[in-house]
Structure 1
Amino acid sequence: MKTARAKIGDQIISQNKIKGIVTKINENSVIIDILENNSDLEFPNNKTVISHKHYELSKEQALLH
């Protein structure tokens, strides 16, 4: 699912259909503020960690890169 690595402020979509804005970049993952959660998962603090292997840039964001 990987195309390009996200940068801070980029909008990404995970394999689990979680859409969010990147707030921090780690070596193997990113931390996002969740904008839209189309999965069965719940996130009480509205943030999650997603591996670089398990997301892609949103279509709108990919056009900007």
Structure 2
Amino acid sequence: MKKAQIGDIIEFKEGLQGVVEKVNENSVIVNLTHMENFNELELDEKTVINHKNYKIIQSSTKA
């Protein structure tokens, strides 16, 4: 399984998206303000997602 890197955009929990701000051993810290409808969803600005629970939808690097 490929781990996300800082700056990657990931998707999790039925379509929520965020930008990875920090990569930990078992999880990533994600900024959710990337989403256009962030204010409507009344979510916290940041959340922690286990590496098993997301997919990378846009990489920050050109590999």
What is the TM-score with the length of structure 2 in the denominator?
A: 0.72
Equivalent residue for 1:53?
52
Q: Count residues in correspondence.
A: 59
Corresponding residue number in structure 1 for 2:26:
28
Could you say which residue in structure 2 is the equivalent of 1:19? 17
Listed as ranges, the gaps of 5+ residues in structure 2 are none
Residue type at the aligned position of 2:51 = H
Q: Alignment RMSD, CA only? A: 2.6
CA distance in 2, matches of 1:54, 1:42: 21
Kindly provide the amino acid, as one letter, of the partner of residue 48 in structure 1.
T
Gaps in structure 1 of 5+ consecutive residues: none
The residue that corresponds to 1:7 in the other structure is: 5
Identity %: 42
Rounded to whole Å, the distance in 2 between the matches of 1:51 and 1:42 is: 22
Q: Which runs of 4+ in 1 moved over 3 A?
A: none
Secondary structure of 1:53's partner?
A: helix
Instruction: Output the TM-score relative to the length of structure 1.
Output: 0.70
- State the secondary structure of the residue aligned to 1:43: coil
